[in-house]
Structure 1
Amino acid sequence: MCMTGICTLMTKWLSAVFSAPSSESVDEELPLAHIQQTFRKERLIRFWTKCAIVATFGLRIFRPQVPYNHMSGALPFTFFEAIGLKRIEHHEPSDGEFPLPELIEEQYWEASNGHFKGWAPGMTRLTTDDTQPSWAAAPLPTGFNRWRELSNLDNDDIIFNGQDPKESLKSFYDPVDDPLRITNLNHGLVEPLARALKDHDIPITHVVLVMMESARKDIFPLKNDSHLHREILSSYRHPDEKALRDLNDKLARLTPVAERLTGESGGFSSSKGDPPALETEWKDSAEPGMGGINVNGVLTGSTLSFKSAVMNHCGVGPIPIDFMGEVKADIYQPCIMQVLELFNQLQPKSTIDDGRFQDRNWTSVFLQSITGEYDDQSDLNRMMGFKKAIYREDIDKPIADHYHPHMEEINYFGFSEHEIYPYLQDVVRGALENNERLFLSHFTSTTHHPWSTPEEFHKEQYFAEDSFMEKHEDMNNYLNAVHYVDTWLGDMLKVLDENDIANETLVVLVGDHGQAFQEDAPVTGTYENGHISNFRIPLVFRHPLLPRLQITANATSMSVVPTILDLLLNTKSLNEKDSAAALDLMNEYEGQSLIRPYQATHNGRQAWNFGIINSGGTMLSVGSAAVPYRLILPLTPDFEYVFSDLDTDPDELSPLRSWTREEVIDQVLEHHGARAAGWVADAAKVGQWWVDERKRLWHHH
């Protein structure tokens, strides 16, 4: 997403270069003298632009290619790349063969067992007898193309994409043929959850998924003695006791809702003790020891928001290309909204409340207070299966249900979250009145640049005053935005309380990505920045009747969909037919369920995780649940290899960098030993294979 100042400069520069009026001056009636002055300025801008282009091309010709490529990725060139010119690819395209063949030899193959499809890379399922589940005989919603093709295997007249069905089927995802897939569905539920489900009914009638913009795990909640807390303290050069007490009071009030949702204490206190909850604040109705599952160690699969949205809602890996090519492709797995629509179609659901919520129809709704037009988000939401969506474009019209004059825009995307509050109430009440089960998705926005909050919102100064303007202004604004969103999450949860559905609603809270600042990394923001602060995100499965669990899993948000299905199934929140379909579909997704012991390794294989780095096609984050290592893999020649050991350097303050793979392996060997160096060599190969495999699965050419 474009920063305001850069966008303004770009607009003026492009207007001058192409002799077009900028959007800022289109509706202004300018006097003749002003117009003549503007023309003179535009001639000067065009002249110096031509000089810059000649100089930059000269640099490209005469300077060494590495490490100076990134210097000529200046505004003109990055702009032209964005409008159509392709980047030079750096990774070595694979031939489709998995680069670690010794790990997928026949001796490791696994036979199918019940709903487990088996695992035998190279042996793609091709017969309807072995592959077509009974639920697939029902009308299939959009998103189930793979099963639709399976039903066509015996029909010689059916052609898909100009291919024979057996050939076209090979281009779809198949868990049997996935050399990276490690399942944990053959393991039981984690013990406290299994015990709670045995002793109590824990209904999940509704599901709310909240994707939180730029939500760093280290502020959900902020913790005492964390890296960020130490940065705040370091701004106070000679703090007295009162200054520290006042600071702790402020920090204790920063993320109280996040503390209750996660079950993690921030650890801030003062001489007054823990601050009392405000009268307007959300009160947690969960009994002690209850409240849901907090997952630590989760990394985003993309630092581009809507690629992350595809992962969170559909359980797929995004395409490693710049921007949202996903909107022009077919998502290779059914999204959770489409799975719920399948449940609607499996059998007629009762429209009369007979006490069996499992037999009601699902409805899916998306809500946000900002524009739905950026990056084709509205088209993406339709593709993913939302039946209804409400955006800024729907609420700022005078004919909107809750329109009011002087709606305050807090950033260049739209309004604060509270403008969507009455629509949230309407959606919840409407679902209850229609006797429907609600799947509601909401995307927060205030924690996006420029981190503005509504005028009436009280802002705090967390950093010392004498260092504030020098370095910490952006982070201070961000922390205020974090506090605002924390309050908003509490207000959302109040709606569930007020409608008496809190005890039957699963609330999933997940970050889209983190957000690097000067306090964390040499580069601020997510764009072409692989720093770990952009990747660590919160993930919570909140339900007042679920036991409070703290789970650690070096996973990605690809696990959200299979975990939701696993929870619906094991809480007996689905009827018989829906349960059979859910059990079968859970075995089709790549991600593991987070309510079962996470499997970091299996038969010598590692549970790899991959992260697209904004804007998508330049770098890839490669990690593994088996080791603490992390590699930033460049996909163009403009970027370095970066290695870190998160055990010894959890905040990536001193990563190793090199312009070639051989050099980074040598550095890792010298500083971290042979095991780490071998892992880097494997990670680079597997990462390159994964890039091409995603493009194959998305049918991207």
Structure 2
Amino acid sequence: MQLNYLAPLQAISRTKTQFALFFVAFFVAKLLHLGSHFKSLPIILYLLYTPTFLLPDVLLLLGSKVLVYRLNGGQSSTTRKVIGGLVAILTTACSAAQISFFVETGGEIQWMAASRVLGGTGGMGLLLSGLPSVIAAVVVLYIIALVISPRFYDAVDYTQLRIIWAFRQSFLILVKRQRITEEYEVLISIQDDQSESSINEEEYEEKSTPTKRVSSTVTALATAVATIVVSTTVIALQIARPTRPPFAHMSGSIPITIIEAAWFQPINSEFCLPHPVEVVLFPFDRFSKFFDLPQTLDWRPNAPICGKQNGPRPPPWIEFLGQEGRNDRHGPGPGPGRHDHAGPDGHGPPPPPPHGSPHGGAFGGDDCEPLKLSNLDANVLDPLTSQLKVKKPKIKHVLLITMESTRKDMFPLTKGGHVYDTILSSYGSTNATEEVDAKLRGFTDTAAFLTGTPSGFEAIGRPAEKSWKSAFKDGMGAININGAVSQAAYTLKSLLSSHCGVEPLAVDFAEETKGTIYQHCLAHIFKKMSSKVENEKSDHKKGSLEKNGAEEHLSLPWKSRMIQAVTDQYDSQDVLDKQMGFDRVIAESTISDSTSKHYPPENGFINYFGYAETETFEYLRDLFVDAGKNQERLFVSHLTSTPHHPFKTPKDWEEVAYMSQQHWRPADPFDDYMNTIQFQDQWISQIFQMLHEVGALDETLVVMTGDHGLAFTSLDKSQSAVNNGHVANFNIPILFVHPDLPRIQLNASITPTSILPTVLDLLLETDSLPAPAEKVARDILPSYQGHSLIRDLDFRVATADGASAKAFFQPFHFSAINPGGSLLAISDASTPYRLVLPLCSTIPLRFTDLSTDPHEWEPITAWTMDELRAQIKVKHGARASEWAILAEEMGRWWVWDQRERWGYWGEARETSRGGAEVGGDRGGMRKHHWWETKK
């Protein structure tokens, strides 16, 4: 007997084999997909919703049999055979690639980014490196299909016929008709021919004998009832299943995910990947040309000395293939930018990497950073210099207030501004000015006083009840920044910017908790200072600790506290707080604890996160009172929350309808937002009053900033901060308040990364630190990306000889857009241009020129960079189009550069994360019970 070596290949032409191969391919890939998400959910939820995860596979199986792998009289048409073969082969190839990718990297393929992977040399290298395992997977899948194909098609066919027969039989029983008639037998025969059964006529005749074909009535009813119960259960589970990640993602099946990827192709699919395909280099040539780099300037980042860091090098994707998990915290060893040693006292970032490694230098800073600018050698602002000669502010404590969703144009609201005009226009009458002004009397009065910005709505004639204001003499109060841009339209990412002076990751939600904060946060620095001072005390060097006898507070230890009225269980904020160095956190759980000192709270929850800020008043007061008793210095971070959606205030707080209400028009959410802003303004006044009463106001530096803005349709023709790059989501207030600081209006396009350097510089310039702590501050200050806002913004860049020269460019700003991995907003201080760059999303590119369109009512959008550039050139000129090209290239560089800084190689989008990468608290509230599935 001669063996037919081509038999395995010839088998693929048979419909039964094609059907079996198609099933094996997509089902094995699905099992692998579900296996990679095994830790994504509590085991009970995983098992409960497994039927819904497999529902698409059942529909695929039945649908493909009816539409593609269809047999008429045991035969299939040539067209169906060709289509069926192609579908089976394609599905098998994709399944094998999925298996191979998992073996090589421990992750799943992002099909939306597949074209980008294949288009780069790094991606091709990955493909070739996994080719043996791909071939092996194809062979295994094909062998399994050959083994099951003789019976699998018939088994599926028989099951279908059995269920159809059960329902027909049950129907006849229920309508009390004869169970089997000659007419019904004819119908059965016709229907069986149309169902494309693979059973030939002789076999069917044999199986249709009365003893084998006719089942009992009980069996028919049981089969029908069981089918209905199972179907109803699966449908109910599908309806009840949460819509948040990773539930929908876990239902994905090949080839449906392939079709989705082809149909919903992201513009920049490379950002869907956990690793860059190739090293994305800083665009030195285009950057230098656009900003006219002087030929005489030997700019250090572009010099040979920085070539190892800024030049071509092996792609991180290739270098770290084989890690278990796409995140350095879950791999077997450190990833790039990651180090095995903890920071000082086990907190904060690690020590600097070895010489020559990326982002080296003290505490992660590096003169080779292309966008590094410094103004530490610039002069202190003239008004502050004059004040320091007369009286230096006493800074014992630092209070950092982060104001939720607070727009710059609402801090304060000013008469004649865009917001005011919008409110006035809602009345539809030119005689409404007096009514509107009356409603706005006293609106954001605290913000107007602190910033030194007249609002036009001052509470004229009111008694001087705010005694804290008496501590501020004429011309004294705050350094107010006009032009600040949020680093992220997502609160937790923004906290990192203001507290640690770092830029966030362009990935969904607070994945920064899985990377390494690459700079010391303020709490780390204060703890380090306390440690150094304590060491000096133990060495009996008291003389070096105090400037004079009146400054005994300088040597007191620092304590860091976070306080808020809402939960810290959302998106792992409790983990983030600890990583930022906070020893103790007062949050919603503290206020709700029946054993707490100030329990019970005066009011209940005002939103789905917790209480109004006023519930923290006594706790905040205790911090400052106890600090005085215990001889401590305080760093307190306070996060407000009332201006967050759904914009609710306590029931006993009287709301005002600022916008005109029309009976036929629904209430404007901006009206509710305004009420929360006014509530927050009054709360801030209560904080200052408390500081004044406990005697801490004149020795506390109060730093205030918004985490991000918030767009509204009535104001901005745009709504929400989610996947929305509108400028209103990014313009925020920043100010530094102290009764002995001169009032300064500083027009500067900066980000909250400059808060930390400014606080340290203020502590130094006001002699608010003892000698050991001074050394810590001076050593660490140059390493930060932000700038000192108490100095002239005369920026300098590093030169190759280790010196510095006048900068030829201004700061660039990269802002992550909520939730983080879909869009990136790019701007720079030297131009009015903004580019919103789509990352892993199907959202178009967006360009605006704020000099001609300050409210971004007429943005230019396009699906390709060439198309966008052409439109910009026509409307805004050649230089604007050149800037857009440069910004796009810099955005690509920045995204991957940040990944390297953080040592994070996880998925950008929450829906793509599996296994250990997805936690039940990612982008949602941490649950205490397995049944709490909804956000």
Tell me which interval the TM-score lies in, with the shorter structure as reference length: 0.7 to 0.9
Q: Could you tell me which residue of structure 1 aligns to residue 882 of structure 2?
A: 678
Q: Which runs of 5+ in 1 are unaligned?
A: 1-12, 21-35, 71-84, 113-117, 126-137, 151-164
Measured after TM superposition, the shift of residue 168 of structure 1 is 7.8
Note if 1:408 corresponds to 2:604: yes
Measured after TM superposition, the shift of residue 144 of structure 1 is 4.5
Q: 2:428 aligns with which of 237, 247, 250?
A: 237
Kindly tell me: are residues 41 and 267 of structure 1, through their superposed partners in 2, closer, same or farther at Cα, counting changes over 3 Å?
A: farther
Note if 1:507 corresponds to 2:711: no
Measured after TM superposition, the shift of residue 655 of structure 1 is 1.0
Kindly tell me: are residues 228 and 42 of structure 1, through their superposed partners in 2, closer, same or farther at Cα, counting changes over 3 Å?
A: farther
Note if 1:664 corresponds to 2:868: yes
Q: 2:409 aligns with which of 214, 218, 222?
A: 218
Question: C-alpha separation between the residues in 2 aligned to 1:522 and 1:64?
Answer: 31
Q: 1:397 aligns with which of 590, 593, 597?
A: 593
Question: C-alpha separation between the residues in 1 aligned to 2:522 and 2:278?
Answer: 31
Note if 1:257 corresponds to 2:446: yes
Question: C-alpha separation between the residues in 2 aligned to 1:443 and 1:671?
Answer: 42
Report the AA paired with residue 284 of structure 2. Answer: L
Q: Does the 8 Å contact 2:485/2:750 carry over to 1? A: yes
Note if 1:283 corresponds to 2:479: no
Measured after TM superposition, the shift of residue 287 of structure 1 is 0.5
Note if 1:187 corresponds to 2:378: yes
Question: C-alpha separation between the residues in 1 aligned to 2:827 and 2:356?
Answer: 34
SS of the aligned residue for 1:292 comes to strand
Note if 1:700 corresponds to 2:904: yes
Q: Does the 8 Å contact 2:348/2:519 carry over to 1? A: yes
Identity of aligned residues (%): 33
Question: C-alpha separation between the residues in 2 aligned to 1:441 and 1:62?
Answer: 44
Question: C-alpha separation between the residues in 1 aligned to 2:770 and 2:876?
Answer: 53
Q: Could you tell me which residue of structure 2 aligns to residue 175 of structure 1?
A: 366
Kindly tell me: are residues 678 and 275 of structure 1, through their superposed partners in 2, closer, same or farther at Cα, counting changes over 3 Å?
A: farther
Kindly tell me: are residues 524 and 107 of structure 1, through their superposed partners in 2, closer, same or farther at Cα, counting changes over 3 Å?
A: same
Q: 1:518 aligns with which of 671, 695, 713?
A: 713
Report the AA paired with residue 589 of structure 1. Answer: Y
Larger Cα-atom Rg? 2
Note if 1:209 corresponds to 2:400: yes
Aligned CA-pair RMSD: 3.8
Note if 1:316 corresponds to 2:502: yes
SS of the aligned residue for 1:561 comes to helix
Question: C-alpha separation between the residues in 2 aligned to 1:294 and 1:605?
Answer: 24
SS of the aligned residue for 2:488 comes to coil
Q: 2:621 aligns with which of 396, 401, 425?
A: 425
SS of the aligned residue for 2:481 comes to strand
Measured after TM superposition, the shift of residue 191 of structure 1 is 0.9
Question: C-alpha separation between the residues in 2 aligned to 1:358 and 1:111?
Answer: 39
Q: 1:591 aligns with which of 786, 800, 807?
A: 786
SS of the aligned residue for 1:632 comes to strand
Structure 1, 39-48 or 191-200: larger mean CA deviation: 39-48
Q: Could you tell me which residue of structure 2 aligns to residue 198 of structure 1?
A: 389
Measured after TM superposition, the shift of residue 522 of structure 1 is 4.3
Q: Could you tell me which residue of structure 2 aligns to residue 143 of structure 1?
A: 348
Kindly tell me: are residues 57 and 498 of structure 1, through their superposed partners in 2, closer, same or farther at Cα, counting changes over 3 Å?
A: farther
Q: Which runs of 5+ in 2 are unaligned?
A: 1-44, 53-227, 311-342, 797-805, 906-935
Q: 2:732 aligns with which of 517, 521, 537?
A: 537
Note if 1:559 corresponds to 2:754: yes
Report the AA paired with residue 327 of structure 1. Answer: T
Measured after TM superposition, the shift of residue 366 of structure 1 is 0.7
Note if 1:550 corresponds to 2:745: yes
Question: C-alpha separation between the residues in 1 aligned to 2:253 and 2:420?
Answer: 45
Question: C-alpha separation between the residues in 1 aligned to 2:500 and 2:300?
Answer: 27
SS of the aligned residue for 2:398 comes to strand
Measured after TM superposition, the shift of residue 60 of structure 1 is 8.3
Measured after TM superposition, the shift of residue 178 of structure 1 is 0.5
Kindly tell me: are residues 522 and 238 of structure 1, through their superposed partners in 2, closer, same or farther at Cα, counting changes over 3 Å?
A: closer
Question: C-alpha separation between the residues in 2 aligned to 1:86 and 1:625?
Answer: 28
Structure 1, 691-700 or 583-592: larger mean CA deviation: 583-592
Measured after TM superposition, the shift of residue 687 of structure 1 is 1.0
Q: Does the 8 Å contact 1:98/1:689 carry over to 2? A: yes
SS of the aligned residue for 2:409 comes to coil
Question: C-alpha separation between the residues in 2 aligned to 1:251 and 1:119?
Answer: 60
Which string of whole-angstrom CA distances, capped at 9 and with x for unpartnered residues, describes residues 90-113 of structure 1? 99866242212474899634799x
Measured after TM superposition, the shift of residue 166 of structure 1 is 6.3
Which string of whole-angstrom CA distances, capped at 9 and with x for unpartnered residues, describes residues 591-634 of structure 1? 11111122478543331011000111111110000111111011
Measured after TM superposition, the shift of residue 249 of structure 1 is 2.1
Q: Does the 8 Å contact 1:282/1:491 carry over to 2? A: no
The two structures have a TM-score, normalised by structure 2, of 0.61
Measured after TM superposition, the shift of residue 17 of structure 1 is 7.0
Q: Could you tell me which residue of structure 1 aligns to residue 177 of structure 2?
A: none
Q: Does the 8 Å contact 1:124/1:176 carry over to 2? A: no
Report the AA paired with residue 779 of structure 2. Answer: D
Which string of whole-angstrom CA distances, capped at 9 and with x for unpartnered residues, describes residues 183-213 of structure 1? 1111111111111112212111110000010
Q: Could you tell me which residue of structure 2 aligns to residue 480 of structure 1?
A: 675
**What pairs up with 1:271-350 in 2 under 5 angstroms?**
274=460, 276=462, 279=465, 283-348=469-534
Question: C-alpha separation between the residues in 2 aligned to 1:474 and 1:56?
Answer: 42
Question: C-alpha separation between the residues in 1 aligned to 2:867 and 2:739?
Answer: 52
Measured after TM superposition, the shift of residue 359 of structure 1 is 1.4
Q: Does the 8 Å contact 1:346/1:578 carry over to 2? A: yes
SS of the aligned residue for 1:693 comes to helix
Q: Could you tell me which residue of structure 2 aligns to residue 575 of structure 1?
A: 770
Q: Does the 8 Å contact 2:348/2:521 carry over to 1? A: yes
**What pairs up with 1:78-97 in 2 under 5 angstroms?**
88=272, 95-97=279-281
Question: C-alpha separation between the residues in 1 aligned to 2:632 and 2:485?
Answer: 33
Which string of whole-angstrom CA distances, capped at 9 and with x for unpartnered residues, describes residues 96-140 of structure 1? 42212474899634799xxxxx99644779xxxxxxxxxxxx965
Measured after TM superposition, the shift of residue 370 of structure 1 is 0.7
Question: C-alpha separation between the residues in 2 aligned to 1:301 and 1:590?
Answer: 12
SS of the aligned residue for 1:293 comes to strand
Measured after TM superposition, the shift of residue 279 of structure 1 is 3.4
Measured after TM superposition, the shift of residue 375 of structure 1 is 0.9
Q: 2:235 aligns with which of 24, 43, 49?
A: 43
Structure 1, 540-549 or 350-359: larger mean CA deviation: 350-359
Report the AA paired with residue 875 of structure 2. Answer: H
Note if 1:626 corresponds to 2:810: no
Q: Could you tell me which residue of structure 1 aligns to residue 849 of structure 2?
A: 645
Structure 1, 598-607 or 103-112: larger mean CA deviation: 103-112
Kindly tell me: are residues 670 and 406 of structure 1, through their superposed partners in 2, closer, same or farther at Cα, counting changes over 3 Å?
A: same
Kindly tell me: are residues 600 and 585 of structure 1, through their superposed partners in 2, closer, same or farther at Cα, counting changes over 3 Å?
A: closer
Report the AA paired with residue 614 of structure 2. Answer: H
Q: Could you tell me which residue of structure 1 aligns to residue 284 of structure 2?
A: 100
Question: C-alpha separation between the residues in 1 aligned to 2:715 and 2:237?
Answer: 36
The two structures have a TM-score, normalised by structure 1, of 0.81
SS of the aligned residue for 1:356 comes to helix
Which string of whole-angstrom CA distances, capped at 9 and with x for unpartnered residues, describes residues 440-488 of structure 1? 1000000000010001001001011227x72553111100000101010
Structure 1, 294-303 or 188-197: larger mean CA deviation: 188-197
Question: C-alpha separation between the residues in 1 aligned to 2:578 and 2:256?
Answer: 46
Kindly tell me: are residues 555 and 120 of structure 1, through their superposed partners in 2, closer, same or farther at Cα, counting changes over 3 Å?
A: farther
Q: 2:633 aligns with which of 422, 437, 447?
A: 437
Question: C-alpha separation between the residues in 2 aligned to 1:168 and 1:657?
Answer: 36
Which string of whole-angstrom CA distances, capped at 9 and with x for unpartnered residues, describes residues 349-401 of structure 1? 58999642221111111101111111111111110111211111112111110
